[in-house]
């Protein structure tokens, strides 16, 4: 049994996951799918990386280097094969004020510190807390992110050089009009139609890649005047060079970069872990949250020392990758290497690709990402769940996904606490020796503590009162304080209070107060989450 468990654990941590499963071989056909999926992702990464570099106020190559380095490292050692990482708008909108006030060198130092914090989160296994994100929050997350991806593409329908990309959509700039607009729309729709029809015709080439290739060939062959990748910026460059951020090694520098690093680390991990869960649902793979935290952190530390702006998981490109048939690390590695090839050798060719083709690919990602079934289940799920779905969607679009997820989790937790707080009640009866028994039902915690105290009537109750916790659960320090408050009232009235079926650690702490009579013969063995010193009020963890 132990050997089987160890083998399973080893398989989950194996980083050389280049095959689909242990019982499948990496055939030439599967390798072709992985490489073509990686090429498709690389093409989709180029305009995103350039646009987000503009958002952050840095050179386009800073965004491209981040996409290459973060994508390569996370593909090699990330928590789940199939995920794609790179420069993202969620991080770029935080970086812009840092770059504007202190310069790009401070950004590189911040990215290094951000990576260190993410590695610490992974080593401490904090990634597992992503399990606390409720399903309504996940639905709101994917819906909001689909809308954000859609809005971000609208910037490509503006005259090149006039667009102000905000990371959440588009800012100022002149919209295309007349023939250029109609061509852009027509080519976008054509790309979407090719992606839709291609799987019905052939699966030799991933549908998104076929759409890009056919539309690009049409535009180049006919010499159509439409916006192209090269209109955003030149992507030509050399290899990223090792570079220690030139910032003063002082406490003042640390005070400047720490707040940004904490925010960036949190946003990056939240987006990455939610994407990990989403990809896991599509590929039927579980686990890897803490490993993904370490991978993201290591990638950002490396990126900061090689002139990149940092990054995290990209849900749009991850969806392209998975839906192109990729299931292993090869596709992510190939995407990063293809991107480097574009920068070093193929920039003139890549810059000829029409933006309409890439917009069409991303629009299909939007259609595939949005949880359309959520529109119908809004009327079927509890009202609070429906509210959380809509709230997270709106906050994702208006602010950013990290804020949206935190807000959604808090609202869901408060709703859960309120519902459980209302469950506290007690059945009462009198024993043969005229003792009154309160049989408490429902969890006793901070939300229900006040209601628990209100259940009792010390003035009218008989001389002996028994509180039975057999159908209840004492959860936290507030619960212990509520029990103390009830005991004090009965003590002041000169009456005897007995507690039954209370956990042993609870009644041991309570008897330290010196005025409780506890029947412990039939108490359960479950442990309280915290120790509470009734004299000092000091909490201590088990």
Here the CATH number for the domain that contains residue 459 is 3.30.750.24
Q: Which of 316, 350, 376 is the last residue of a domain?
A: 376
Q: What is the mean pLDDT of residues 259-286?
A: 88
Q: Which of 361, 376, 391 is the last residue of a domain?
A: 376
Whole-prediction pTM: 0.77
Higher pLDDT residue, 524 or 343? 343
Question: Do the domain assignments include residue 11?
Answer: no
Question: Do the domain assignments include residue 282?
Answer: yes
Residue ranges of the alpha helices (H) in 430-498? 449-453, 477-492
pLDDT digits (tens, 9 = 90+) for 439-459: 999 888 888 889 999 999 999
pLDDT score for 529: 44
pLDDT digits (tens, 9 = 90+) for 196-235: 999 999 888 899 999 999 999 999 999 999 999 998 889 9
Residues 86 and 229 grouped into a single domain: yes
Question: Do the domain assignments include residue 62?
Answer: yes
Q: Which of 313, 348, 376 is the last residue of a domain?
A: 376
Residues 372 and 485 grouped into a single domain: no
Between CA 28 and CA 498 the distance in angstroms is 74
The first and second tokens of residue 541, run together, are 């963890």
pLDDT score for 167: 44
Residues 121 and 225 grouped into a single domain: yes
Residues 348 and 457 grouped into a single domain: no
Nearest 5°: CA angle at 401, between 170 and 383?
A: 115
pLDDT digits (tens, 9 = 90+) for 46-103: 988 988 888 888 999 999 999 999 999 999 999 888 899 999 888 988 898 899 999 9
Question: Do the domain assignments include residue 336?
Answer: yes
Q: Is the pLDDT assigned to residue 13 strictly greater than 60?
A: no
Q: Is the pLDDT assigned to residue 15 strictly greater than 50?
A: no
Between CA 40 and CA 369 the distance in angstroms is 17
Question: Do the domain assignments include residue 368?
Answer: yes
Question: Do the domain assignments include residue 93?
Answer: yes
User: What is the residue range of 428's domain?
Assistant: 422-541
The first and second tokens of residue 80, run together, are 């789940």
Residues 289 and 429 grouped into a single domain: no
Question: Do the domain assignments include residue 188?
Answer: yes
Question: Do the domain assignments include residue 407?
Answer: no
The mean-pLDDT minimum among 2-16, 392-406, 488-502 falls in 2-16
253: helix, strand or coil: helix
The mean-pLDDT minimum among 257-266, 314-323, 470-479 falls in 470-479
Residue ranges of the alpha helices (H) in 223-343? 229-232, 251-283, 289-304, 315-323, 329-341
Residues 366 and 433 grouped into a single domain: no
Asked if 448 and 421 count as a contact pair (C-beta separation under 8 A), the reply is: yes
Count CB neighbours of 217 within 10 A: 11
Number of domains into which the chain is organized: 2
Q: Is the pLDDT assigned to residue 22 strictly greater than 50?
A: no
Considering the chain, what is the average pLDDT of its residues?
84
Residues 344 and 464 grouped into a single domain: no
Residues 432 and 369 grouped into a single domain: no
Residues 161 and 307 grouped into a single domain: yes
Q: What is the mean pLDDT of residues 344-369?
A: 92
Residues 368 and 438 grouped into a single domain: no
Asked if 392 and 405 count as a contact pair (C-beta separation under 8 A), the reply is: yes
- The pLDDT confidence band at residue 523, using thresholds 50, 70 and 90, is low
CA 388 → CA 138, 140, 275, 416, 444, distances in Å?
Answer: 10, 7, 19, 12, 26
Residues 346 and 436 grouped into a single domain: no
């Amino acid at each position: 049994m132990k050997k089987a468990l160890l083998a399973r654990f080893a398989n989950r941590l194996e980083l050389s996951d280049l095959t689909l499963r242990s019982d499948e071989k990496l055939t030439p056909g599967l390798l072709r799918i992985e490489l073509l999926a990686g090429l498709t992702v690389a093409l989709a990464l180029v305009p995103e990386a350039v646009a987000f570099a503009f958002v952050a106020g840095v050179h386009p190559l800073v965004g491209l280097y981040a996409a290459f380095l973060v994508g390569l490292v996370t593909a090699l050692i990330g928590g789940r094969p199939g995920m794609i990482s790179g420069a993202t708008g969620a991080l770029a909108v935080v970086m812009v004020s840092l770059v504007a006030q202190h310069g790009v060198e401070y950004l590189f130092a911040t990215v290094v510190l951000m990576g260190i914090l993410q590695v610490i989160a992974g080593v401490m296994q904090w990634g597992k807390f992503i399990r606390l994100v409720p399903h309504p929050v996940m639905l709101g997350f994917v819906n909001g992110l689909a809308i954000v991806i859609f809005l971000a593409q609208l910037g490509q329908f503006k005259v090149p050089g006039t667009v102000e990309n905000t990371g959440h959509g588009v800012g100022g700039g002149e919209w295309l009009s007349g023939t250029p607009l109609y061509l852009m729309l027509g080519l976008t729709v054509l790309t979407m139609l090719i992606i839709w029809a291609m799987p019905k015709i052939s699966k030799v080439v991933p549908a998104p890649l076929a759409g890009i290739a056919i539309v690009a060939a049409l535009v180049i062959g006919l010499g159509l005047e439409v916006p192209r990748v090269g209109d955003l910026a030149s992507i030509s460059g050399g290899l990223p060079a090792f570079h220690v951020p030139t910032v003063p090694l002082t406490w003042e520098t640390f005070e400047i970069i720490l707040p940004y690093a904490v925010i960036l680390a949190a946003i990056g991990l939240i987006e990455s872990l939610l994407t990990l869960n989403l990809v896991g649902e599509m590929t039927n793979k579980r686990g890897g949250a803490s490993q993904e935290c370490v991978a993201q952190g290591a990638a950002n530390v490396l990126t900061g020392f090689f002139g990149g702006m940092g990054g995290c998981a990209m849900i749009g490109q991850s969806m392209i990758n998975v839906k192109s048939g990729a299931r292993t690390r090869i596709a992510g590695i190939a995407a990063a290497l293809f991107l480097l090839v574009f920068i070093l050798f193929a920039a003139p060719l890549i810059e000829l690709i029409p933006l309409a083709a890439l917009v069409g690919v991303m629009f299909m990602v939007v259609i595939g990402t949005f949880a359309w079934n959520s529109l119908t289940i809004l009327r079927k799920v509890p009202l609070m769940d429906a509210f959380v779905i809509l709230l997270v969607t709106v906050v994702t679009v208006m602010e950013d996904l990290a804020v949206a997820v935190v807000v959604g989790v808090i609202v869901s937790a408060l709703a859960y606490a309120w519902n459980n707080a209302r469950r506290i009640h007690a059945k009462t009866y009198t024993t043969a020796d005229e003792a009154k028994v309160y049989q408490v039902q429902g969890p006793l915690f901070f939300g229900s503590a006040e209601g628990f105290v209100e259940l009792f009537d010390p003035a009218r109750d008989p001389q002996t009162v028994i509180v039975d916790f057999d159908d209840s659960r004492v959860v936290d320090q507030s619960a212990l304080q509520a029990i103390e408050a009830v005991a004090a009232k009965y003590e002041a009235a000169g009456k005897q209070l007995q507690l039954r079926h209370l956990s042993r650690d609870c009644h041991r702490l309570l008897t330290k107060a010196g005025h409780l009579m506890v029947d412990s013969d039939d108490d359960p063995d479950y442990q309280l989450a915290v120790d509470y010193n009734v004299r000092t009020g000091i909490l201590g963890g088990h």
